[in-house]
Each structure stands twice: as structure tokens, then as C-alpha cells.
């Protein structure tokens, strides 16, 4: 058993020891854990009198959990605090870890043991959670190639190892291209239109590089305000082009070009699916999801696209006319869209994102978020202490009735060496072990602008309303992970939840960002301390569905591209990935990006994340989340308060607490008392006649 506590990756007593971690810890820890796991597997492969949960599943789970937790720390740090030394250690060990998981999933002796357990008289006496874990394991062994002949198993394992390396390289290329780019502006007059706090952040960034003027990067909080506010059109075009071509053949650095990586990933996924007896990778991807066939997903997306298209066409017509008449832009280009949209919104609704942002300082937002979930779910969130990977990371604990139920790290700001985007990941899951409950721990990661020092005084970070929504979204994932009551690791929290249902709690939480009862408690003007005025709130709500047709079509476009890429696209054929994307756009979109746009080269969700043939999950789950939230709207109609503790208790009991212990559709129906309906989503999006 691995007990070298000098190596923090081998200490599973409590929380990760980030303060003691060094990249040189990785290889000895992973090697020791792999040795231990192989020994356990070898022992479990041997004949046994009878296969039971205690004799077979429990020891396998205990060993693999430790490997998963240790490698999870390494992967997390690779995403949030990348250094050359850590990257080297990660890439050195990734093939070994991938090979182990692949061999585990192909182990015919273990597969036979699971089948024996499923067929045994003792299976019926197992809890529903343990039955679900066994059923999931049987499914995953089949998807892992356990039934393949040996020569095909070998090839399958090679594919998994290569795919893991390619996905990592894809992500690293995007990160390196993002970190490498810098746009320096010396003359402040060229930044006309930009808000003061954006200029201040750019000035600080330049100073940190020892340079005069202003520095802009391809990290979202830096480049997007240029697109949204900069009056100088050529400046917008420069930053748009840099962002739209990063990690591509047009990006300037051949070593970061993801073109061939994309093609190889698609070829390997196609080969993997054929080995497993499927026609395409989309079919493989959908086996553990709610949706059953690629055609079902495509029909869902095309139907949503048809419903959204008239609204999107109207959005574009309005924007084009406005840009021409009011801004003198005769031909609306991609780098004009965010700028013209912001100007149109300001004219129509008489407010700007920048004005709203002044009311959302970080401390007040966090306080308001915690207040909401405490009232909804009868929990308490308190500051806690733990070693972290960066000085800006905060740590908290969640208690219910005085008992610890979960803990989480909050890493909010963009910085060099940190992957872009926002996500929740689990540090450990809830389980009962040795007579006590191991409580879950989550990582909550965002990429917002950090606090700045202006005029000699530190100012808290200010969030746009979109960033507040992002924070609520990730916290919803965190609640799903931390408020589970299931005590079996394989189906507690987000584990075992169908991928196309996993966004339900996160998108559900977004809705509260539009409620007056919630916002009035989480706003405080950066200068005056005044809460958000009701008049400004009313304008925000009026503008809530501004361009929702365009936004919906954009998501449908991405999801259809992903599904067709893995369903009926031939990576060995003459058609390029770009040509497929262009086809989808001309069929679905009303706003077509320029020919140099290489969106797919940084589409990390499907090439470096878990969303291959699964990006549709965002819209699929949005149907569930909008319908689930309508239960709170119904409560508000009856009681006058959308923050309903009664509805919150039911949501917690039937959705959050259940984790993956039963099908997501059953959990939804237990909460709503019926099948989900698309009506609430269309209503929330303003796409009803």
C-alpha cells in the first residue's frame, strides 16, 4: 500500500497538499499507485469462491479512487498553474495512466467477475446504487473493448493512448497561442470608447512587462472589451483576427497549429467506433447519454434552429440597419458585431454592460450567491482554510444542520498559465468508507478580471452580469457534486450522471441571476455602495433576450457541427473539416464568420474535453433546466417569493441528492411530476409568438 507521506500526491488522509507539491512528485507517486493498482487487479483476476461487492468491487474501487484523486490533482494543476516542469511531468505520465485505464476497461477477467456478480443471487440484495454501478460497469467494459479479440484490444489501447496525447497537445497549443499573443497600444487616444477599468487593467499588464502604454491579450477579459467598446475599427479587427486564428495554420506559429491534430483525432475516433462494432463515434458517445441516436439529436437541434431562425433573422436585420444608419458601418463585419450590438443595446435600453458592472463587486456577488443557495437548500457556507495553488484562491465549507457536507476551492481570475474558460471539477467524491462518510470536495474555476490598483487604492474585481451568470452556472455544478446524499462513489454527485443531463443544475442556477429578489441582495455600486436601482434592473430584464435568436442559432451551429463531425463526416475523405463547418453555417446560421475564422482550432470542448458528439448537451439540458426552474416561478406566483425553500428542498432531494444513482429522466419526473417540455425554454428565451 502506498504510504510515502513525504510525497503529497500519496497522502489521501484529507485535502490535497498543494503547498508541498512539486512537479518531481508526479512520476514516483503515479508509478507507486499504478504498481498498487496492478497488484490489486492481479489479485482480483484470480478465481474466487463467490463474487461479492465486498470481495471484488470494493477493493477495486478503493485502489482506483486513489489513482484518480492523485492524477486529478496533477491534471488540475496542469489546467490552472501550468509550468514547463509540470507540463513535462504531466506528459511523461499521461501515457502510463491512459494505458492503465484502457487495460482496466478491457480486462476480460474483471468483466466476467462483474457479469458473475450481476447473475448471482446476491445481486438482488444490493442497494439500488450498487446495482446501478454494476450495470454501468458492464456497459463501460463493452465500450472499453473488453470483448474484443486480443489483436484488436492492442490496437484499441494504442488508440486511447494516442487520443489522450493529442487532446492534451490540442489544449496546450490553444493555451500557448493565447499566452504568446500581446497587442501593445502606446497612444491612449487609440483606445477611445474603452471603459476606464479595462484601460487600467491593460496599463497594469504593460507595466508588469516593463513596457509603456497598454497591453491586451487573448484572455477573454482582455480581448473581448476591445471588440465590445473600442471605437477604432482597425483595433477591433486586429484582436478579432488574432483570436479567430489562434492555434491554426493562420496563427503564425506552425508548432501550435491544431489542423493535423483535429484530423488525426477524428480518424482515431472513427477507427475506435468501428472496432467496437458501431457505425460512427456519435453512436459510441450516445450509449451512456439520455439521447439514443444521432438522428434524434440532429432532429432536436434542427427543430430548435427552425424555431430560433425568424428571431435571429430579425436580430440581424435590426443590427445591420442600426450599424449603417447610426454608426456609419455600411458592411457589418465580424469584428463589428459585439461593438454594434453594445451600442444598439445602449440606445434601445439606455444602459451598458459597463454601467451594470459597477454594481457587481466580487465580495457582494459572492455574498449574494451564498445567501441564495443557503436559503434555497437550508445550508451554511463558511470560510475554511486549506493549502492552495495560488494566493488568489479561496476555500470554503458547506454545512447542513451543523454537519460538514462538502468543501470547495474558488479560483476566479484569469492569469498566465491558466487554461481559459470556466469549469467545475471534483477533487474527491462522497462515499461511505470504513464506517464514516468521506465528504465531497470541488474545484470551481473561472477566468474573470482580477482586482486592480487604481489611484493608489486597491479596488475589488468587478463582474459583468454575464460573468455573474457564469459563476452561478459553475456553482450549480458544484452543488450537484457537493449536495449529493448518495454514498457510493460511482454514482454520487456528478458521477454516473448522463452527460446530456449534467448541465441541468448549472443552467438552472443561471435563472436566479435575473430575479430582483436575488439581485438586490448581491449588488453594491463600486463608488457609492448603492444597490442596483430598480429602474436599471428593469432595463436589464427588458434586454435579457436581446439577440437571443442569434445566440441560440450560434449554439445550434456548434452542436450540429460537432454531431455531424462524429456521425456522417468522413475524416479520410476529400471534404475538409472547414468545409463541413461552412456547410453547417450556411444551413443554420444567419451570421457567417469571415473565411479566415478557425473556430474549430480552439474548440476544446470536443477536441480536449468530454463533449465530443455531446456539445448538444447544453441545449438538451437547457430544456430540462428551464422546465425545472418553472417550478420556482410557479412557487413565486403562489407565495410571491421565487427563492422557495419548499421547491428548493424538492430540487435538492430529487435532483441534486440523487447524483447518478438513477436515470436523469426519472429524477426530473420525480421533481416535476411529468416529462420535460420545451415550452419553458422558448418562453425564457423570448422565442414565443
pLDDT tens string 21-37: 999 999 999 999 999 99
User: Does position 392 have pLDDT exceeding 90, yes or no?
Assistant: yes
Average pLDDT for the chain: 96
Sequence-distant (≥ 6) Cβ neighbours of residue 197 within 8 angstroms: 357, 449, 452, 454, 459, 462
How far apart CA 143 and CA 138 sit, in angstroms, is 9
SS3 138: helix
Instruction: For cell 462522497, name the residue.
Output: 430
Same domain, 422 and 343: no
Share of the chain above pLDDT 70, in %: 99
Q: Is the pLDDT of residue 499 over 70?
A: yes
**Residues labelled as active-site residues:** 474
In eight-state DSSP terms, residue 611 is: -
User: What is the model's pLDDT at position 454?
Assistant: 75
Total number of domains constituting the chain: 4
Percent of the chain with pLDDT over 90: 97
Contact 341, 352 (CB under 8 A): no
Q: Is residue 250 part of a domain?
A: no
Collapse the DSSP code of 533 into the 3-class scheme (helix H, G, I; strand E, B; otherwise coil) and give the result: coil
Domain boundary among 468, 496, 531: 531
Distance CA 85, CA 209 (A): 22
Tell me, yes or no, whether 315 and 194 share the same domain: no
Q: What pLDDT was estimated at residue 77?
A: 98
User: Is 291 found in the same domain as 194?
Assistant: no
The DSSP 8-state label assigned to residue 496 in this structure reads T
State yes or no: pLDDT of 362 exceeds 70. yes
Instruction: For residue 541, give Cα distances in angstroms to 306, 311, 379, 448, 685.
Output: 25, 18, 29, 23, 12
386 and 330, same domain (yes or no): no
CA dihedral 449, 453, 457, 463 (to 10 degrees): -10
405 within some domain: yes
Point out the domain boundary residue: 615, 636, 658.
615
Residue the block writes with cell 461479492: 52
- pTM for this model (two decimals): 0.93
Q: What pLDDT shows up at residue 367?
A: 98
Residue 167 lies in a domain: no
Residue 356 lies in a domain: no
Confidence of residue 237 (pLDDT cuts 50, 70, 90): very high
Provide the pLDDT for residue 4. Answer: 74
Name the domain boundary from 615, 638, 658.
Answer: 615
Q: Are 391 and 520 in the same domain?
A: yes
CA distance 272 to 390: 39
Q: Are 606 and 562 in contact (CB under 8 A)?
A: yes
Q: Give the count of beta carbons closer than 10 Å to the beta carbon of residue 551.
A: 16
Model pLDDT, residue 36? 98
Residues 419-473 have pLDDT tens digits of: 999 999 999 999 999 899 999 999 999 999 999 877 778 889 999 999 999 999 9
**What per-residue confidence (pLDDT) applies to 2?**
56
Q: Is residue 278 part of a domain?
A: yes
Looking at the fold, whether 241 and 268 belong to one and the same domain comes out as no
Q: Say whether both 287 and 320 belong to one domain.
A: yes
Assess if residue 284 is contained within a domain: yes
Q: Residue 1 pLDDT > 60, yes or no?
A: no
Range of the domain at 105: 8-147
Give per-residue pLDDT as tens, 476-490: 999 999 999 999 999
Strand ranges across the sheet with 441-448: 380-383, 394-400, 403-413, 441-448, 423-428
pLDDT in tens, 600-655: 999 999 999 999 999 999 999 999 999 999 999 999 999 999 999 999 999 999 99
The CATH code of the domain that includes 448 is 1.10.1370.40
Q: Residue 121: which CATH number?
A: 1.20.1050.40
Looking at the structure, tell me whether residues 417 and 521 fall in a common domain: yes
Q: Average pLDDT for residues 213-225, to the nearest whole number? A: 96
Phi, psi torsion values for 529, nearest 5 degrees: 80, 0
Q: Is residue 625 part of a domain?
A: no
- Based on the domain organization, do 37 and 73 belong to the same domain? yes
Residues 292 and 413 in one domain: no
**Which three-class secondary structure state does DSSP give residue 565?**
helix
Amino acid at each position: 500500500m502506498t504510504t510515502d507521506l513525504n510525497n503529497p500526491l500519496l497522502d489521501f488522509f484529507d485535502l490535497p497538499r498543494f503547498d508541498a507539491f512539486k512537479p518531481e512528485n508526479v512520476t514516483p507517486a503515479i508509478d507507486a499507485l499504478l504498481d498498487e493498482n496492478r497488484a490489486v487487479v492481479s489479485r482480483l483476476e484470480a478465481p474466487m469462491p463467490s463474487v461479492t461487492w465486498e470481495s471484488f468491487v470494493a477493493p477495486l474501487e478503493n485502489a482506483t479512487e486513489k489513482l484518480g484523486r492523485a492524477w486529478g490533482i496533477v491534471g488540475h494543476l496542469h489546467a490552472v498553474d501550468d509550468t514547463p516542469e509540470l507540463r513535462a511531468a504531466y506528459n511523461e505520465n499521461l501515457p502510463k495512466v491512459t494505458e492503465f485505464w484502457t487495460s482496466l476497461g478491457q480486462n476480460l477477467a474483471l468483466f466476467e467477475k462483474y457479469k458473475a456478480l450481476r447473475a448471482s443471487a446476491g445481486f438482488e440484495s444490493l442497494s439500488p446504487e450498487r446495482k446501478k454501478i454494476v450495470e454501468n460497469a458492464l456497459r463501460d467494459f463493452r465500450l472499453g473493448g473488453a470483448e474484443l479479440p486480443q489483436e484488436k484490444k492492442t490496437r484499441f489501447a494504442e488508440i486511447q493512448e494516442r487520443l489522450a496525447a493529442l487532446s492534451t497537445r490540442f489544449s496546450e497549443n490553444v493555451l500557448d497561442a493565447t499566452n504568446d499573443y500581446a497587442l501593445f497600444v502606446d497612444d491612449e487616444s487609440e483606445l477611445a470608447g474603452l471603459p476606464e477599468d479595462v484601460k487600467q487593467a491593460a496599463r497594469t499588464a504593460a507595466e508588469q512587462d516593463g513596457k509603456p502604454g497598454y497591453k491586451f491579450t487573448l484572455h477573454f477579459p482582455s480581448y473581448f472589451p476591445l471588440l465590445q467598446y473600442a471605437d477604432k475599427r482597425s483595433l477591433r479587427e486586429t484582436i478579432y483576427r488574432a483570436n479567430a486564428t489562434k492555434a491554426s495554420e493562420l496563427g503564425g506559429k506552425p508548432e501550435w497549429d491544431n489542423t493535423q491534430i483535429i484530423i488525426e483525432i477524428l480518424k482515431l475516433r472513427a477507427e475506435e467506433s468501428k472496432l467496437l462494432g458501431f457505425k460512427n463515434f456519435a453512436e459510441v458517445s450516445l450509449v451512456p447519454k439520455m439521447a439514443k441516436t444521432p438522428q434524434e439529436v440532429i432532429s432536436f437541434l434542427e427543430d430548435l434552429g427552425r424555431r430560433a431562425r425568424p428571431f435571429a433573422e430579425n436580430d440581424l436585420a435590426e443590427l445591420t440597419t442600426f450599424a449603417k444608419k447610426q454608426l456609419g458601418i455600411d458592411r457589418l463585419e465580424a469584428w463589428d458585431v459585439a461593438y454594434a450590438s453594445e451600442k444598439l443595446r445602449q440606445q434601445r435600453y439606455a444602459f451598458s454592460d459597463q454601467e451594470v458592472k459597477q454594481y457587481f463587486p466580487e465580495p457582494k456577488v459572492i455574498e449574494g450567491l451564498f445567501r441564495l443557495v443557503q436559503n434555497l437548500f437550508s445550508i451554511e457556507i463558511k470560510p475554511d482554510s486549506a493549502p492552495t495553488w495560488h494566493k488568489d484562491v479561496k476555500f470554503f465549507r458547506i454545512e447542513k444542520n451543523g454537519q460538514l457536507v462538502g468543501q470547495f476551492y474558488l479560483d476566479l481570475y484569469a492569469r498566465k498559465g491558466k487554461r481559459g474558460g470556466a469549469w467545475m471539477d471534483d477533487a474527491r467524491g462522497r462515499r461511505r468508507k470504513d464506517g464514516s462518510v468521506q465528504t465531497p470536495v470541488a474545484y470551481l474555476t473561472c477566468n474573470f478580471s482580477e482586482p486592480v490598483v487604481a489611484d493608489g487604492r486597491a479596488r475589488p474585481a468587478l463582474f459583468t452580469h454575464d460573468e455573474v451568470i457564469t459563476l452561478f452556472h459553475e456553482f450549480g455544478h458544484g452543488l450537484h457534486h457537493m449536495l449529493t446524499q448518495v454514498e457510493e462513489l460511482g454514482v454520487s454527485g456528478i458521477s454516473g450522471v448522463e452527460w446530456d443531463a449534467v448541465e441541468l443544475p448549472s443552467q438552472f442556477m443561471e435563472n436566479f441571476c435575473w430575479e430582483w429578489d436575488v439581485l438586490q441582495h448581491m449588488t453594491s455600486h463600486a463608488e457609492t455602495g448603492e444597490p442596483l436601482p430598480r429602474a436599471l434592473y428593469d432595463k436589464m430584464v427588458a434586454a435579457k433576450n436581446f439577440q437571443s435568436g442569434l445566440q441560440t442559432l450560434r449554439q445550434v451551429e456548434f452542436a450540429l457541427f460537432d454531431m455531424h463531425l462524429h456521425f456522417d463526416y468522413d475524416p479520410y475523405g476529400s471534404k475538409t473539416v472547414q468545409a463541413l463547418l461552412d456547410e453547417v453555417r450556411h444551413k443554420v446560421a444567419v451570421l457567417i464568420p469571415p473565411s479566415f475564422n478557425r473556430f474549430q482550432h480552439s474548440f476544446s470542448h470536443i477536441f480536449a474535453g468530454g463533449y465530443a458528439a455531446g456539445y448538444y448537451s447544453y441545449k438538451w439540458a437547457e430544456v430540462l433546466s428551464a422546465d425545472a426552474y418553472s417550478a420556482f416561478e410557479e412557487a413565486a406566483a403562489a407565495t410571491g417569493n421565487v427563492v422557495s425553500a419548499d421547491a428548493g428542498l424538492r430540487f435538492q432531494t430529487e435532483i441534486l441528492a440523487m447524483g447518478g444513482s438513477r436515470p436523469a429522466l426519472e429524477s426530473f419526473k420525480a421533481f416535476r411530476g411529468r416529462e420535460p417540455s420545451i415550452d419553458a425554454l422558448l418562453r425564457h428565451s423570448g422565442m414565443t409568438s
